[in-house]
Structure 1
Amino acid sequence: MRDLSQHLEHFALNTATLRQWPLERIIEGCARRGIRAIAPWHADVERVGVAQTKRLLREAQIELAGYCRGGLFPVAQASERDAVFERNRRVLDAARELDAPCVVLVVGGLPGAMEGEPQSRDLAGAREQVKDGIARILDYAKSLRMPLAIEPLHPMYAADRACVNTLEHALDLCDEIDPSMQGDLGIAVDCYHVWWDPKVDAQIARAGKQRLLGFHVCDWLVPTRDMLNDRGMMGDGVIDIARLRSQVERAGFDGFIEVEIFSSDNWWKRDGDDVLDTCVARYRTVV
């Protein structure tokens, strides 16, 4: 395993971890600490502007570890699918302009469920739409040389955010849609979503270097008070993060380790400098 205790060479911050700060301040705060990579969200980049974001990153000497997010493929009507493609195309264009190494896909669940008004109970149909949507956008992504990383989410999100819930399912999709194994389509392994899976070790090994495009860390709190926004700081929960890291590195992953914490009642309420300093400290000692 890589030694993380002495430097921040492999540290990356998903900007959702500091929701209390705008993107500009996050870039400045990371640069001040010698953090060399972030994973921004498309909505924040759109607010700042792609050209301005690129300038800020260049001046701070910060690169991207990934780009959030594409996906959300299932829709109620077939006539809506072109709009889904165009939305994803804009995400890919921005990611390419910013030299992101990949776009993370949160694939979506039942149509309307994220808005609290599910329009279907057809989970199998939603999964077919996900497969078709990835296959369609992959051709465009390949033309940009922009890899896509399917991120399976915990099964508690199957209805609304992602109907791909295991690494096995994500890798099955990769093998079916793009069997060439050229690095165009792979997975993002997020500890929060996969730590519980009894097949996690075997599926990480199956993925190998060509499919492992991202590794995200935070912790699972007991009890968890909110399904979406109560993730823990590394070391505050029950995930054996270091063991999962050892598995992805043994499989060939040598990229950035991305800290991604959604925490509406804790870390988002704290001083941003304290949050960032704690992320760095736990990265050195827990991850």
Structure 2
Amino acid sequence: MRDFSNDHRWLSLNTATVRKQGDLVAIIEACARHGIRAIDPWRDQVAATGLDRAVKAVRDAGLELSGYCRGGMFVADAAHRIEARDDNRRAIDEARALGAPCVVLVVGGLPQYSRPGSVASRDIAGARTQVHDAIAEMLDYAKAAKMPLAIEPLHPAYAADRACVNTTKQALDICDALDPTRSGALGVALDVYHIWWDPDLLPQIARAGKQRLMAFHVCDWLVPTKDILNDRGMMGDGVIDIPSVRAAVEAQGFSGYSEIEIFSDDWWSKPMDEVLKTCIARHRTAV
């Protein structure tokens, strides 16, 4: 396993971690100040900044991307499926302009939450079928653009409103069905917050292998967790054995960034520079 104790060369900042403290340009400038060499920006932040300006800011700062958040939210009623398809094609185009290595997919839950305005449904099996079919369609466009797609399984607490793909096994089943030759076009983004509890995690990481492991996200699970969405912990403040998960991922040959992604009302209330200094310190000691 790589030694992170002496530097933060392999730290990437998911820009949601400090989204309340500044716009994307301010975040990029702060990363440059602190020697952070990569980011994973969110589409709403890019839209607020403007794609051309965002591209220039990334390039001027000499930053790399570890991913692009996010595509997906596929599940919709018939009236909204073309909207979902077109939106995901735009995500691919934006990711390509920014130089991202992959688009991270949060696949969506039930249609009324994934695509507002859709007719409500409780059919989660049908939602999962829609996800499979929509990724198959998106994959054709992504391959033409040479933009890999990374399915992110989310904790089961998000099955209704954010993602009905909840385990690494489910995500890899889709990968194997749609990309059986392991072409590099489809893989997974593994976030320890969502997968740490899974008793089948380590065998599934081995199943993924280097070709399927496209992104690795870190934060921590607090006990108690006050808000399932916006109370993630800084690495080392919770119960996840992050180094063990990273060791398993790196044993398969993953050598990319450890991307810090923290949704937290607490950390959003602190100055950006303080948050980034803490991220760097914990990256060296708790990741």
Alignment TM class, shorter chain as reference: over 0.9
Report SS of the residue matched to 1:112: helix
| Alpha-carbon distance in 2 for matches of 1:48, 1:245 | 33
Give the aligned residue type for 1:12: S
Where does residue 175 of structure 1 map in the other structure? Answer: 176
User: How many angstroms does 1:118 deviate by?
Assistant: 7.5
2:259 counterpart SS class: strand
Answering whether residue 151 of structure 2 is matched by residue 150 of structure 1, we say: yes
1:231 is matched with which residue?
232
Distance 1:80 1:53 in 2: 29
Distance in 2 (CA, whole Å) between partners of 1:164 and 1:118 is 21
1:215 aligns with 2:216: yes
2:192 match: 191
Whole-Å Cα distance in 2 between the matches of residues 53 and 79 of structure 1? 32
Aligned residue pair count: 285
Determine the C-alpha separation between the residues in 2 that align with 1:118 and 1:142: 31
Following superposition, the deviation at residue 113 of structure 1 comes to 2.8
Question: For residues 116 and 229 of structure 1, what CA distance do their matches in structure 2 show?
Answer: 25
1:116 Cα shift?
11
Q: 1:82 to 1:118 in 2, by over 3 A?
A: closer
Q: Which ranges of structure 1 fall in alignment gaps of 5 or more residues?
A: none
- 1:57-98 Cα distance to aligned partner (Å, 9 max, x none): 11111111100000000112x232111110001111000011
- Is the contact between residue 70 and residue 103 of structure 1 (CA under 8 Å) also seen in structure 2? yes
Offset from partner CA, 1:29-81 (integer Å, 9 cap, x none): 100111110000011111111111111111111111100000000112x2321
- Tell me which residue corresponds to 1:8: 8
For residues 237-262 of structure 1, what are the alpha-carbon distances to aligned partners after superposition, in whole Å with 9 as ceiling and x for unaligned?
00000000000000111111100000
Q: Which whole-Å CA distance do the structure 2 matches of 1:118 and 1:135 have between them? A: 23
Aligned residue in 2 for 1:132: 133
**Distance (Å, rounded) in 2 between the aligned partners of 1:118 and 1:260:** 32
* 2:75 is the counterpart of 1:74: yes
Q: What amino acid sits opposite 1:11 in the alignment?
A: L
Distance 1:180 1:93 in 2: 25
1:285 and 2:282 are equivalent in the alignment: no
Within-5 A mapping of 1:87-126: 87-113=87-113, 119-126=120-127
Preserved contact between residue 10 and residue 256 of structure 1 (Cα < 8 Å):
yes
Residue 263 (structure 2) aligns with:
262
How big is the alpha-carbon RMSD for the aligned residues of Structure 1 and Structure 2?
1.2
Separation of aligned partners in 1, 2:139 and 2:8: 32
Tell me the SS of whatever aligns to 2:80: helix
Distance 2:254 2:4 in 1: 15
Residues 110, 118 of structure 1: 8 Å contact kept: no
Distance across 1 between alignment mates of 2:98 and 2:113: 31
Structure 1 stretches of 4+ with a deviation exceeding 3 A read 114-118
CA distance in 2, matches of 1:83, 1:116: 11
What amino acid sits opposite 2:147 in the alignment?
M
- Is the Cα–Cα contact under 8 Å of residues 184 and 212 in structure 2 kept in the other structure? yes
Residue type matched to 2:13 in 1? L
Runs of 5+ unmatched residues, structure 2: none
Q: Distance in 2 between matches of 1:30 and 1:46?
A: 20
Structure 2 counterpart SS, 1:89: helix
SS of alignment partner, residue 270 of structure 1: coil
The answer to whether the Cα contact below 8 Å between 2:76 and 2:118 also exists between their aligned partners in 1 is no
Percent of counterpart pairs with the same letter?
A: 61
1:83 aligns with 2:77: no
In 2, Cα distance between the equivalents of 1:82 and 1:12? Answer: 33
**2:111 is paired with a residue of what secondary structure?**
coil
Q: Distance in 2 between matches of 1:165 and 1:15?
A: 23
CA distance in 1, matches of 2:53, 2:8: 25
One-letter amino acid matched to 2:279: C
